[in-house]
Amino acid sequence: MALRARITGWGKYLPQRILTNRELEKWVDTSDAWIRSRTGIRERRIAADDETASTMAVEASRQALEVAHLNPKELDLIIAATVTPDKVFPACASLIQHQLGASKAAAFDLNAACSGFVYALATANQFIGAGGFEKVLVVGTDVYSRILDWRDRSTCVLFGDGAGAVIMEASTQGGSLSFVLGSDGSGADLLYVPGLCDSTLVANDHHYLTMNGPEVFKFAIHTMVGATKQVVETAHLTLDDIDLFIYHQANSRIIQAAAKSLSLPPHKVFINVDRYGNTSAASIPIALCEAIEEGRIQKGDHLALVGFGGGLSWGAMVVEWDSDPLEKNV
């Protein structure tokens, strides 16, 4: 029987510091009403000076390992989805490995921006399905506060910091039923951060995140709708069969527009962007953890996880939830 990758553990970490829209009003030409009406965001979390992508990831990963009842030394592989690693190299995943004490695990980073977590899930699924690994830690972690121009009201109001993690284990039931991944490099200049090797931009203080908001907005809605339909069809299910849709939390208007296009009832669409902003690769796993905490995911449910981001990129996965959250909390 073919092996599947099922989620057996989950965890999240969010910095303590809360940055509200009211605080942003003090140094950026914007307003709480403007931000809420266009994004749905009212506050976000900002990493402390001593917090990094790896330290946040470790906290989320420890929770996931505890839920899965695993020792770090049992891990075969760690995949860290991030565009804000502690260092250019070594990989953030290697730092996470060391901090966890996962001495047996291979480790590497994956860069697909806000689509990164779904890309990492798909990658872990393939490693497990091929029989190469049995226990994989997948982490989405980003500290966008370090790459934002806090003078640019078009970007700085949108993002926050955080980390989310899951444990994926080999199984013959439940788990990933389908996934789709995509990229359109022709839109690379719509959402990007210049590289360290681009000395001209760095020298002129232009090394921050740049985004063409209107174009990314249109791309996001179109892509989320298409990827949702495709991944559900590939799983041989219908939209009605999906119990909860967890989209990348970039903007509530994007999520609501996609849901309306797909005729999804509001109770089937999870939204927490109002409290955290866009946490990039951490967005979907943080939302997954909160949905579990709120009792919105039960054993046997079908979930659709859909992300989009720089690349331009997109990814979606349908998961048959085979863990009982109540049992895990015992």
Check residue 131 and give left, alpha or beta (phi > 0: left; psi -120 to 50: alpha): left
Side-by-side strand order, sheet with 106-110:
4-13, 161-171, 135-143, 77-81, 106-110
Exactly one of 21, 92, 114, 251 is catalytic; name it: 114
Q: Tokens 């090394």: give the residue.
A: 207
Strand partners, 166: 10, 138
Please say if 278 is a catalytic residue.
yes
Closest CA to 20 of 36, 2, 9, 6: 36
Task: Determine the Cα–Cα distance for residues 217 and 98; give it in Å rounded to an integer.
Answer: 39
Closest CA to 275 of 115, 59, 40: 40
Are the C-beta atoms of 253 and 39 separated by less than 8 Å?
A: yes
| Strand duo 77-81 + 106-110: pairing | parallel
Main-chain phi, psi angles of 250, to 5 degrees: -100, -35
Please say if 267 is a catalytic residue.
no
In 147-280, DSSP assigns E strands to 161-171, 175-183, 191-192, 210-211, 244-247, 269-270
**Residue 59 vs residues 3, 66, 147: alpha-carbon distances, Å:** 29, 11, 22
Exactly one of 21, 125, 251, 278 is catalytic; name it: 278
Exactly one of 248, 251, 272, 289 is catalytic; name it: 248
Please say if 248 is a catalytic residue.
yes
SS3 136: strand
What secondary structure letter does DSSP report for 288? Answer: H
**Residues with catalytic roles:** 114, 248, 278
